[in-house]
């Protein structure tokens, strides 16, 4: 008999917990990066709107990814 036994259900639960925590951390980091980018670009009104409007948040996130402030002059 092995000194330790493999518990597949426990292993799967632990992997899910780790994945969830990592995904949450990355999500928080992305939101913070988006808001910092909008602030740097002088777009504080967009931050306020994105906080209360999920569709607008997604629009701002798409705009942020791969762009600099200079790319989005209005």
Tell me the per-residue pLDDT of 11-35, one tens digit each, with 9 for 90 and over: 899 999 999 999 999 999 999 999 9
What average pLDDT score do residues 51-71 get?
Answer: 90
What is the chain's mean pLDDT, rounded? 89
Buried b / exposed e over 37-56, threshold 16 CB at 10 Å, is: bbeebebeebbeebeeeeee
- What integer pLDDT is reported at residue 16 of this predicted model? 93
Contact at 8 Å (CB) between 37 and 64?
yes
- What integer pLDDT is reported at residue 40 of this predicted model? 94
What average pLDDT score do residues 52-59 get?
Answer: 97
With 0-12 CB in 10 A as exposed, 13-18 as middle and 19+ as buried, what is 60? buried
- What integer pLDDT is reported at residue 74 of this predicted model? 47
């Amino acid at each position: 008999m092995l000194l330790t036994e493999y518990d597949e259900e426990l292993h799967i639960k632990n992997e899910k917990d780790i994945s969830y925590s990592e995904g949450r951390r990355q999500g928080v980091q992305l939101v913070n990066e988006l808001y910092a980018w909008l602030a740097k670009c002088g777009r504080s009104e967009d931050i306020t709107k994105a906080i209360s409007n999920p569709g607008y948040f997604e629009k701002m996130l798409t705009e942020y990814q791969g762009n600099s402030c200079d790319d989005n002059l209005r």
